[in-house]
């Protein structure tokens, strides 16, 4: 069976990561004040963090031009911080605070990649693959993806798999593609989940056709927001959520869904309604990915409450005064 472009989502998804604007804020955060003080004293990481905060409007009013000034100082024309170089390249790609210039973006990202910065390696691989600011070079792009993956960039493994699936820069080999997708999926790549689902659905890449495995991987991808996976689940007459998981979560939370068999009926619908009422959300008795998220969160809260109660009991039985548990102090935003 000939593989279709719609199946290999990795090639289209792993785009350059943009510095997204968060909008201006009324109050400057403590972390930004500290970064500014350290940046003015010559700390390059502080310069990079301050520049990134200004670019996104995180903890400070957004100011892209000032952000670029600090990122340039941190990058020090290729002799400084590699992450700052990567973010400078990103600014040139997206025209943030400067006129859009893919060639200049490629120059900065290549400098960072030469320092083995994982995101820069990944992004430069994309630029080589797509001919963005540089001459298109499929074999070299695969090399950059491999290096980025080895340094922890999960989506780079997905892109290596996509290269094998489409025969771009390497020989076409679906078994080898599946191996790279599996590697990426084991590290949590949503794109790889989707691609593995497609291989199982089609019986390719060394896999036999397996509807259940396809659904399992498509559901993981759907949870991560992959539209392709949702569409394939519909085609397979399957829901984006796992009905059996919904029943199990309801039961663990003390709501009776009936027999936990993955075949929801009236009892499961009533249990969902009871849960929704308890959380003060819209009551419709319908299972969905959003409901699964709420159920999981509720179970985590229940486990945390039980743990706190158990700790309090141990403290009391030891004869010490039990003053309760202090809440964690709010963590300052960090770009690290």
Total count of residues recorded for the chain:
336
Q: What is the pLDDT of residue 314?
A: 52
| 43 plus 110 within the same structural domain | yes
Tokens representing residue 313 in the block: 């009991």
The percent of residues in the chain predicted with pLDDT above 90, rounded, is: 80
Query: CATH no. for residue 236?
Result: 1.25.40.10
| 107 plus 224 within the same structural domain | no
Task: Give the per-residue SS3 of the chain.
Answer: CCCCCCCCCHHHHCCCCCCCCCCCCCCCCHHHHHHHHHHHCCCHHHHHHHHHHHHHCCCCCCCHHHHHHHHHHHHHHHCCCHHHHHHHHHHHHHCCCCCCCHHHHHHHHHHHHHCCCHHHHHHHHHHHHHCCCCCCCHHHHHHHHHHHHHCCCHHHHHHHHHHHHHCCCCCCCHHHHHHHHHHHHHCCCHHHHHHHHHHHHHCCCCCCCCHHHHHHHHHHHHHCCCHHHHHHHHHCCCCCCCHHHHHHHHHHCCCCCCCCCCCCCHHHHHHHHHHHHHHCCCCCCCCCHHHHHHHHHHHHHHHHHHHHHHHHHHHHHCCCCCCCCCCCCCCCCCCC
| 14 plus 33 within the same structural domain | yes
Q: Is the pLDDT of residue 125 over 80?
A: yes
Residue 327: inside a domain, yes or no? no
Residue 142: inside a domain, yes or no? no
| 194 plus 214 within the same structural domain | yes
Contacts of residue 136, defined as CB under 8 A and 6 or more positions apart, other chains included, come to 128, 129, 130
| 196 plus 115 within the same structural domain | no
| 113 plus 184 within the same structural domain | no
Domain limit, last residue, from 203, 222, 240 = 240
Number of domains in the chain: 3
| 261 plus 277 within the same structural domain | yes
Q: What is the pLDDT of residue 35?
A: 94
Residue 151: inside a domain, yes or no? no
Let me know: does 122 contact 89? Beta carbons within 8 Å.
Answer: no
Q: Is the pLDDT of residue 13 over 50?
A: no
> In terms of pLDDT, which residue wins out, 27 or 115?
115
Q: What is the pLDDT of residue 19?
A: 38
Torsion of CA 8, 172, 156, 131, to 10 degrees: -90
Place of tokens 């690290």: 336
| 233 plus 253 within the same structural domain | no
Q: Is the pLDDT of residue 311 over 80?
A: no
Residue 153: inside a domain, yes or no? no
Q: What is the pLDDT of residue 16?
A: 47
* Average pLDDT estimate for 242-270: 95
- Phi and psi at residue 139, in whole multiples of 5°? -60, -40
Q: Is the pLDDT of residue 333 over 60?
A: no
Local confidence band at 30 (pLDDT 50, 70, 90 cut-offs): confident
Q: What is the pLDDT of residue 22?
A: 39
Residue 325: inside a domain, yes or no? no
Q: Is the pLDDT of residue 204 over 80?
A: yes
Residue 111: inside a domain, yes or no? yes
The percent of residues in the chain predicted with pLDDT above 70, rounded, is: 83
Residue 152: inside a domain, yes or no? no
Q: What is the pLDDT of residue 61?
A: 94
Mean of pLDDT over the chain:
86
| 13 plus 122 within the same structural domain | yes
Q: Read off the pTM.
A: 0.78
| 19 plus 38 within the same structural domain | yes
Could you read off the pLDDT of 129-144 as tens digits, one per residue? Answer: 999 999 999 999 999 9
| 235 plus 255 within the same structural domain | no
| 57 plus 94 within the same structural domain | yes
Residue 320: inside a domain, yes or no? no
Domain limit, last residue, from 136, 170, 204 = 136
Of 22, 30, 12, 4, the residue nearest 330 (C-alpha): 30
Q: Is the pLDDT of residue 7 over 70?
A: no
Place of tokens 């029943």: 247
Judged by average pLDDT, the poorest of 129-143, 217-231, 313-327 is 313-327
* Boundaries of domain holding 255: 243-311
Q: Is the pLDDT of residue 26 over 50?
A: no
Q: Is the pLDDT of residue 331 over 90?
A: no
Tell me the longest C-alpha to C-alpha distance in the chain. 73
Query: CATH no. for residue 250?
Result: 1.10.101
Q: What is the pLDDT of residue 4?
A: 53
Domain limit, last residue, from 220, 240, 260 = 240
Q: What is the pLDDT of residue 124?
A: 97
Could you read off the pLDDT of 38-61 as tens digits, one per residue? Answer: 999 999 999 999 999 999 999 999
Let me know: does 153 contact 122? Beta carbons within 8 Å.
Answer: yes
């Amino acid at each position: 069976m000939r593989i279709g472009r719609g199946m290999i989502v990795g090639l289209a998804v792993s785009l350059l990561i943009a510095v997204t604007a968060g909008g201006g804020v009324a109050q400057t955060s403590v972390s930004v004040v500290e970064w500014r003080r350290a940046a003015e004293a010559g700390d390059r990481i502080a310069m990079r963090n301050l520049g990134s905060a200004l670019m996104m409007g995180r903890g400070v009013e957004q100011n892209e031009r000032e952000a670029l000034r600090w990122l340039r100082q941190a990058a020090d024309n290729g002799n400084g911080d590699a992450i700052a170089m990567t973010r400078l390249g990103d600014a040139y790609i997206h025209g943030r605070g400067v006129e859009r210039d893919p060639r200049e973006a490629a120059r900065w990202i290549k400098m960072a990649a030469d320092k083995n910065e994982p995101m820069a390696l990944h992004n430069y691989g994309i630029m080589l693959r797509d001919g963005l600011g540089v001459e298109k070079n499929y074999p070299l792009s695969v090399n950059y993806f491999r290096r980025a993956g080895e340094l922890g960039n999960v989506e780079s493994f997905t892109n290596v798999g996509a290269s094998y699936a489409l025969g771009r820069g390497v020989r076409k080999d679906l078994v080898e593609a599946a191996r790279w997708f599996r590697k990426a999926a084991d590290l949590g790549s949503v794109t790889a989940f989707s691609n593995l689902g497609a291989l199982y659905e089609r019986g390719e890449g060394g896999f036999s056709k397996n509807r259940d495995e396809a659904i399992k991987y498509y559901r993981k991808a759907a949870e991560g927001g992959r539209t392709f996976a949702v569409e394939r689940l519909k085609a397979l007459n399957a829901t984006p959520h796992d009905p059996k998981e919904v029943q199990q979560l309801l039961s663990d939370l003390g709501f009776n869904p009936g027999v936990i068999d993955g075949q929801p009926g009236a009892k499961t619908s009533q249990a969902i309604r009871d849960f929704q009422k308890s959380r003060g959300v819209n009551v419709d008795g319908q299972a969905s990915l959003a409901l699964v998220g709420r159920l999981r969160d509720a179970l985590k809260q229940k486990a945390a409450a039980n743990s706190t109660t158990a700790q309090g009991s141990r403290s009391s039985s030891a004869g010490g005064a039990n003053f309760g548990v202090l809440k964690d102090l709010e963590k300052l935003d960090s770009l690290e």
